[in-house]
Amino acid sequence: MSGASFSAAHHQASTLYLPPGSWQTVFECLCEHFSAVSREQWLDRIARGRVLDGEGRPIHLDLPYREGLRIHYFREVPDEKPIPVVEAILYADEHLVVADKPHFLPVTPAGEYVEQTLLRRLIRRLDNPYLVPLHRIDRHTAGLVLFSANPDTRSAYQSLFPTRQIEKRYQAIARGLPELTFPRVHKSRMIDGEPFFRMQEVPGEPNTETAVEVLEKNGELWRYGLYPVTGKKHQLRVHMNALGAGICNDPFYPDVLRDAEDDYANPLKLLAQGLRFVDPVTGQGRVFESGIRLEW
């Protein structure tokens, strides 16, 4: 495998440095280290060249075990369930790709989702294994996601986010809050919550900030414009819930809906609607708008 194609493959693969142990072969080590993956699955992956050594070469079944040996493997979910939504590519050049992510599609592989993710779909559609998301939005949220398409310029785009050089605009539909004044700014301290996938607000120095305005009123439901200054996980969902208007169809806030199946007819009413920034490579002003609309 050439250096270029190896680094591309490595980009999609997970890496393991073999732990201490007394195994005879790498295969035996993998079987025991990943007890949730059957021996048959590891045999199948190795036979199909889906387990690589540190140089990017497919390993053979009797490769001797050595502590610290670097192995790359491709995560696979057998019988992965298709997600019946379609992403849109709004813009693509040699450096940057902008996609419109539908509700329910994860951005990157995690848990039960590997192929059914925005990243893997775009890699296949654009035939570019170097794609990397520059930021994340929740699986339940729809809208704009930026990807770096070129490792040589990636850091320039990545720096836009921590230095707050990118203006993000969201929309949400939730119950009206006539008792509050808008526009307003909500600041709070957010930390990991319970269960592990939720976030919570606690007393202390704020580490999150969102500006909120009302865009439209439709009876008891209002359309809000949300402008996050910071980018914590679930920030907008937690902040709207704290104001007293949990976003419509949110399976996590205010309460976790246990074992909720994805309801494609009733998605979370949260949309990453607009992005504005100065392109660090070309110096051009960039403005992107989602083509998705939140329906009442």
For residue range 65-77, list pLDDT tens digits in order: 999 999 998 877 6
pLDDT at 254 over 70: yes
Side chain identity at residue 129, one-letter code = P
78 DSSP 8-state letter: T
> What confidence score (pLDDT) does residue 196 get?
87
Torsion angle of alpha carbons 176, 181, 187, 188, nearest 10°?
Answer: -60
Percent of residues, the chain, with pLDDT higher than 90: 72
Cα three-residue angle 275-151-50, rounded to 5 degrees: 110
pLDDT grade for 10, boundaries at 50, 70 and 90: very low
Mean per-residue pLDDT, 83-97: 96
- Both tokens assigned to 169: 């605009």
Mean pLDDT rounded to a whole number for the chain: 91
**Domain edges within the chain:** 3-73, 88-289
> What confidence score (pLDDT) does residue 12 get?
64
* The pairing of beta strand 184-192 with beta strand 208-218: antiparallel
Contacts of 8 (CB under 8 A, 6+ apart): 129, 130
How far is Cα 163 from Cα 187, in angstroms, rounded to an integer? 19
Q: Topology of domain 88-289, per CATH?
A: Pseudouridine synthase (3.30.2350)
How far is Cα 294 from Cα 212, in angstroms, rounded to an integer? 17
pLDDT at 7 over 50: no
How far is Cα 93 from Cα 110, in angstroms, rounded to an integer? 27
Please classify residue 231 by burial: count the beta carbons closer than 10 Å to its beta carbon, then call 0-12 exposed, 13-18 middle and 19+ buried.
Answer: middle
Contacts of 293 (CB under 8 A, 6+ apart): 271
Could you report the per-residue pLDDT of 100-137, keeping only the tens digit for each? 999 999 998 877 787 889 998 998 899 888 899 999 99
- Both tokens assigned to 261: 């199946």
Mean per-residue pLDDT, 142-170: 95
pLDDT at 9 over 60: no
> What confidence score (pLDDT) does residue 221 get?
98
Q: Topology of domain 3-73, per CATH?
A: 3.10.290
Could you report the per-residue pLDDT of 170-227, keeping only the tens digit for each? 999 999 999 999 999 999 999 999 888 899 999 999 999 999 999 999 999 999 999 9
**Which single residue is written with the structure tokens 């949300």?**
226
Half-sphere exposure of 188 (CA within 13 A, CB side): 21
pLDDT at 5 over 60: no
pLDDT at 15 over 90: no
Side chain identity at residue 296, one-letter code = W
> What confidence score (pLDDT) does residue 78 get?
63
Domains 3-73 and 88-289 share a fold: no
> What confidence score (pLDDT) does residue 148 get?
95
As a three-state string, the secondary structure of 87-132 is CEEEEECCCEEEEEECCCCCCCCECCECCCCHHHHHHHHHCCCCCE
- CA nearest neighbour of 28 among 51, 49, 6: 51
> What confidence score (pLDDT) does residue 276 get?
97
